[in-house]
Each structure stands twice: as C-alpha cells, then as structure tokens.
Amino acid sequence: MLIDKQLIQQAKEKLGDDNFTYIMEYLGVEDYDNKNKRCVCPFHSENTASFVYNPKSYSFHCFGCQKNVDIIDGLMYKGFTYIEAVQKLFELADIKYSFGEHKIKSKYQYRYPKEVECTNKDKVYEYWNRRGISQKTLDRVDVREDQYGNTVFNYYDLNDVLLLAKYRPSKKINKGEVKCWCQKDADTTPILFNMNRINTSKPLLITSGEGDCLSAIEAGYLNSVSIPLGDGNTQWVQECWDFLEEFDQIYICTDNDESGIKFQKDIIYRLGSWRTKIIEVPEFYKKSDGIKVRIKDLNEVLYWFGKEKVLELINNAKDTPIPSLVNFSDVNDIDLQNMDGIEMGFTDIDKDLYKLFFGSFNVVSGIPGSGKTSFLYGLCANALDQNINNWVFSRELPTWMSKSWLFHIIGGGRNHTKTTGKDGRVYYNVSKEAKSLMNKHYDNKLFFYRDDYPNDVESLKESMESAFRKYNCRLFILDNLMMVELGGNNEDKNEIQTKFINWLIQFSIKFQVCTVLCCHPNKTQEYTQSVGMYQIAGTSNIINLAHRAFGLRRITKKEKEGYTEGKAVHAPVKHDVVINIIKDRFTGKSSNEYNFLYNGVDRRFYSNQAEYDKKYSWDTKNYTEPNIAERLYDETNEVFGEIKNG
C-alpha cells in the first residue's frame, strides 16, 4: 500500500515541533537540548552535539555522519514497518485514513510462504556476526533461522504480507555448493527485500544481495533493500514499479565484478538515469602487511573497512551520467599532434594531416585506374608496420589477388624477380622466401572478409565488431560502397546510404578505430579533373558526414606528353598520380594537392627516395645501397631526380 506523500507531510505539519519530542522518544535519546533542539548523534560516536532538528523539514540532520531522520524513521528504528509507522503518525496527528486489510490476498490462488517458527537464532547470529552484522540489525529486518540452522530472509510487500521466503546456509559457501533457495511448495513474487521498512521520502539504496542490504543498515542507512533473485533477474522492476516511482533519488550498489557492472549499466536507465546514483565499491583493501585483498561487495567493505566507510560510500554516491551528454569541463582538449592514429607513409601528407586518426571516418575516391587499390593497400601496409591490425572488405579483388597486391607493396623492389613468360611478356613476382617471411610476420594481423560471405549491411556490421573485439583490428577498409548490399529500393537509396554512413561513423567513434570507405565518382567526372566535393556517386551525405575525403587522379598520356589548348601551352607533367584533399574536418585543409610517382613493379606511390626505398618490418636484412628497382614507365632518371630533389 502506497500512502500519499502530501498526506504524510500534512500529518507532520499538524504535529509541528512535537515531531522533535517524538523522534527523541523513539530513538531513546534522553539527554538533549530542548531549547536549541539538538543532541549528540545517536548513530555515531561524537563529543559535540551535531544532531540538529530542522523545524522546516520536521526532521533531524547530523552534520557529522550526514544522517537524516524524521518521525517515520524514528518509528521504524523502534521496529515498526513502514505502514505501521504511517498509521502511528496519522494517529498522533489525528488524521483519519482507511488502511484496509493488511493481508489482502491480491494474487489469485497464490501459494503464500509460511513464516518459519523461530525460537533460536544462534547459528544465524554467529555467522552474520562474523560478517559484521549485529543481532540488532538481523532482528530489525526479521531475519530468521530454520530447523537446520539456515538463514531465512522474509520478503514482505508494502502491506507486510510475506510473498517470498529465501534461504541460504549460515556458513561460508564453497564452490559447487547450493548458495540459496526459496521455500518449497511456495510461490515466489520478485519483490525487494526490506521494502516494507522503507521511508519513501528518502533516497532508496538498492543492493545486489541481502548481505549488502544488512551491511548498509548496520552502518546506519536504514533505507536499504536488496534485489531478490540475482542480478540476472530484473522482474522486480515491473513488480515494484509503483513503489519505485515514489523516490526522487535511488542509489545503486552492485557487486564489484563483470556481472555486477553489466547489471548496473542496464538497470540505471530503466530506473531513470536522472534520479539514479552509483555507489562505487573499492577494488582492494590493503592490509597492514601490504597484502591486497580484493573487495567484491558492500558486505566486504563493512568487514574490512568498517561502518564509517560504508556510510562514506553511500553519502558520496556519484551521479549517473547521461550517455548522450558530456560536461564541457570534462572534454579533453587534444592537440592533433598527440592524437593516436595511423601514419599514411607519405611525407608531405603526414606533415599536413598528421595521421588518419582513430575515431574517424574517411572516404577515398577516384576514377577506375587512378590507383585506389594501391592507395588502400598502401594504408594497410603502413598500418601493419605500426602494429595496427586490419580488416578489409573487397569485392573489387578476390582475397588471393588482394594478398598478392599487398605482397608487391610490402615486398618492395628489392624482393621482386623478373621473369619472361612464354608469350614474351615480362612479369615481376615477389620471391618465395620473402612471401614465407611475410606470411609468418603478419599472421593474425590482417583479415579479409571472405569472398563467399554475404555482403549485406548486417553481415558486415557483425564482422567488423567481431574483428575489433576478438582481433583488435583498428583499420577497417571497405572497397567499395557499390559492392555493399544496402537493401531497399532506388526510391530510398540515398536514405539507406546515409544510415549506413552514420553507422560507420558511430562504429569508428565508439571503438576508436579508423574506417576508410572507397566510393566511385560520378560517371560525368572528367579524367583530367580532380574529384570534387559534389562529384562522389551516391548521396551527398557521404562527403558531408566524412571526417576526411581523398581524391585520386591519374595523369593522362596527353598530360605527360604536353599539349597546347588554344593559346595555352601545357608543359609535360612528370608525375603519375595526384592525390587531393577534398575535405578535412580536423585541420580545415581542402583542395591541397600532392604529386606522386608510381612504380608498377612494387605498386607503390612515392615522392622521394625514402618513400621509394621504404623497408617494412618483416624484412630484417641490412641494405647498404638504395633501392634502384626499375619502373614500368618510360620516364627517364632525370624525372625521378627532380622529384627526389624537389
């Protein structure tokens, strides 16, 4: 039965300062200052009277232990249940109220537990006393002992009707032994232990077990309850919903383990994060000999630290953050130079953009033949050399061809052999020795999405999350968007694409990984133009939402030879590929262009000797001469010299 709080407040107002007298009586305090309405706190040891009555709230507050006590608390301290305390208050204030029958059997054909006849509780007292719980606390919440010496926890509803009787051995429970059980041949309603002795005008403490609830009460926090059937069962929320809705504040104290932390995260949002606070149990207790004892729950805090520490934790319960909000002062001011990410391996681009940052979503675009595959697998190679694991989805190349492409890039010119086929054509292959070393060195570091697996969005999502959780992959490459089965129809194509892009962004931020999506430009894109902001095929949100976007353009034969257009004379272009920055949210740079040569032997982009000569970590050989592997283009040595020196 829930009583209107306004009616309770009205009763207190009618009593006025008589609240002070009654509270002193119920707490058993005889030595008090009637004029100043204060006394020494009856709940903790002190020499100065810090237990002070507030006539506005009709309650006491201790400025020492922070305890608050009103007339309801005082009556329950004497042993009244909540409904009995309210009845007494209304009687004192001469307020008429129909409480009705207490033991109303509201559940049809419910098999009510039988109260255990208990004349002796020696085993219960002995066991719980060893865990820091006094006889007074056990009697206060009606803990009993059955004929075999087991502890019996009686769960009463708000009408003081017994709905659940739960048992546990009055001894240390060894691994494999039954920890607890409910009364045989009785039904079990999932209600909260001790909920019939709770003052709904005070914050409610919900613990993960009866022992923790007893510990809080032992420490002086009487407004404590326990969940009934373990933290995997949350049916009590629905069963006790009206009761829980009475509280302006709720404290949660769970076990200090993985299960408890998960329960805490799940339950605070069901109860309302705006009114829920978290009690953090310390991880260890350091003994005088320096040995650390792991702390599991609130009862162990009581055992090792004492009552004062339990109250301190409760009084310092921390607000539950709203997941969607971050406080301005809590936002870290990060210098881009110190942000973690992946160096791309290009001197000038890394100088300007620093890195491909973790937590970012990046787009790469370019017309067919512009070098997108070499660019993407070059990112893979450089990430692997920075001890960053990779996940790659490609429907452009089968997995065996993707691996071959990486062999060329990571192998470098020095580890290629030149052969002439039967048709007279020249081929370049990475040596078997180098391939064997690379296989061993990069084992369990690079993972391709299987060719024969579905390419729908949900399958890719599951694979990406699993790759991060199990293999700690931090670079995710999707080549390309057109190969992802988004579902839907042409009418909602842009909306579906946007939804997928948003998921990629959230995935990148949530797991602090770097995601790179390859997209084709529009078919109208001119081969002699760099890819622009609005020239990516698909929804415009691809670029709008991206943190960074790169465009690749291959220099045409006409540009290499030089040409005249009207009165304009275009000199021969000496580089092979232009990489332009379409957009960069981090530095604000856009339209920056970087010129690169391309080596068709090892399929690398480079703009200087260091990039051309890069040796990856699998290769432990010492080289004294620079890499002079031939190029598959007709440019002269003077061209490379100008790039190298300029």
Contact 52, 60 (CB under 8 A): yes
Residues 427, 514, single domain; the answer is yes
Q: Which residue type occupies 162?
A: L
Strand pairing category for 51-54 and 604-606:
unpaired
Per-state percent for the chain, helix, strand, coil, to nearest 5:
35, 20, 45
User: Quick one: 227 and 308 in the same domain?
Assistant: yes
Single out the residue of 534, 537, 498 nearest to residue 519, CA to CA. 537
* b/e sequence 373-391, b meaning 16+ C-beta within 10 Å: bbbbbbbbbbbbbeebbbb
Predicted confidence at residue 535, as pLDDT, reads: 58
Strands 224-226 and 204-207: parallel
Helix ranges (DSSP H) in 5-98? 5-15, 18-27, 71-77, 82-93
Check which CATH number belongs to the domain holding 80 and give it. Answer: 3.90.580.10
Residue at a domain's end among 263, 289, 319:
319
Residue 360 and residue 548 in contact, taking contact as beta carbons nearer than 8 Å: yes
Q: Is 33 helix (H, G, I), strand (E, B) or coil?
A: strand
Long-range contacts from 422-428, C-beta under 8 angstroms, 24+ separation: 428/601
CA 643 vs. chain centroid, Å, equals 48
Which CATH number goes with the domain that contains 196?
Answer: 3.40.1360.10
Same domain for 344 and 315: no
**Among 285, 319, 353, where does a domain finish?**
319
Contact 233, 266 (CB under 8 A): no
Query: 252 and 127: one domain?
Result: yes
Please give the C-alpha separations between residue 416 and each of 381, 407, 411, 627, 629, in angstroms, as whole numbers: 17, 10, 7, 12, 9
Angle at which helices 493-511 and 457-471 pack, to 10 degrees?
Answer: 10
Give residue 78's Cα distance to chain centre.
Answer: 44
Sign of the Cα torsion 324, 329, 330, 334 reads positive
Q: Is residue 77 in some structural domain?
A: yes
Note whether 401 and 528 are same-domain residues: yes
Let me know if residue 328 belongs to a domain: no
N residues, the chain: 646
Strands 360-366 and 514-519: parallel
Question: Which parts of the chain have pLDDT scores under 50?
Answer: 102-105, 524-525, 533-534, 632-646
**DSSP code per residue over 283-301:** SEEE-TTS-EEE--SHHHH
Residues near 16 by Cβ (< 8 Å), separated by ≥ 6?
Answer: 55, 58
Quote the CA–CA distance of 49 and 24 in Å, as a whole number. 14
Residues 291 and 387 both lie in one domain: no
Residue 370 has a CB neighbour count (10 Å cut-off) of 22
Any domain includes 330: no
List pLDDT tens digits, range 406-457: 999 999 888 888 888 788 888 888 999 999 999 999 998 999 999 999 999 9
Residues 6+ positions from 366 with CB-CB distance below 8 Å: 372, 375, 521, 531, 551, 552, 553, 554
List the CATH number of the domain containing 631. Answer: 3.40.50.300
- Amino acid, res. 384: L
Taking each helix axis from N to C end, the angle separating 210-219 and 298-305, rounded to the nearest 10 degrees, works out to 40
Are 78 and 158 within one domain? no
Please name the helix (run of DSSP H) or strand (run of DSSP E) that holds residue 447, with its range, or none: strand 446-448
pLDDT number for residue 538: 56
**C-alpha to C-alpha distance for 179 and 177, rounded to whole angstroms:** 6
DSSP string, 79-144: T--HHHHHHHHHHHHT-------TT---STT--PPPPPP-S--HHHHHHHHHTT--HHHHHHTT-E
What is the 8-class DSSP label of residue 328? G
d(Cα 23, Cα 34) in Å, to the nearest integer?
Answer: 12
* Total count of domains within the chain: 3
* Final residue belonging to a domain, choices 319, 350, 385: 319
The string of DSSP codes covering 517-567 is EEEPBPTT--TTS---TT-BSS-THHHHH-SEEEEEEEPPHHHHH-EEETT
Query: Do 234 and 361 reside in the same domain of the chain?
Result: no
Q: Judge whether 108 lies within some domain.
A: no
Q: How far is CA 487 from CA 298, 542, 625, in A?
A: 51, 17, 54
- Which strand (E) or helix (H) includes residue 432? helix 432-441
Same domain, 374 and 305: no
Q: 308 near 355, Cβ under 8 Å?
A: no
* Residue 115, domain member (yes or no): no
Residue 159 in domain:
yes
Please state, in angstroms and rounded to a whole number, the distance separating the CA atoms of residues 378 and 376.
5
Residue entry with tokens 């004892």:
293
Pairing of strands 426-430, 416-420: antiparallel
Residues 243-262 have pLDDT tens digits of 999 999 999 999 999 899 88
Q: What's the pTM value of the predicted model, to 2 decimals?
A: 0.53
Yes or no: say if 554 and 577 are a contact pair by the CB < 8 Å rule: yes
Same domain, 538 and 414: yes
- Which ranges of 549-636 does DSSP label H, i.e. alpha helix? 557-561, 609-612
- Same domain? For 278 and 413 the reply is no
Is position 216 within any domain?
yes
Classify residue 326: in a domain, yes or no. Answer: no
Residue with tokens 């194509």: 493
- Tell me, what's the pLDDT at 167? 97
Is residue 157 within 8 Å of 195, Cβ to Cβ? yes
Please count the CA atoms within 13 angstroms of the CA of 44 that sit on its side-chain side: 23
Return the HEC string of 346-369.
CHHHHHHHCCEECCEEEEEEECCC
CA distances from 530 to 185, 370, 380, 592 (A): 79, 11, 24, 11
Q: Say if residue 415 is in the same domain as residue 305.
A: no
Which range marks the domain in which residue 233 is found? 122-319
CA distance 444 to 449: 13
Q: What is the spatial distance between Cα 73 and Cα 81, in angstroms, rounded to a whole number?
A: 10
Element containing residue 426 per DSSP (H, E): strand 426-430
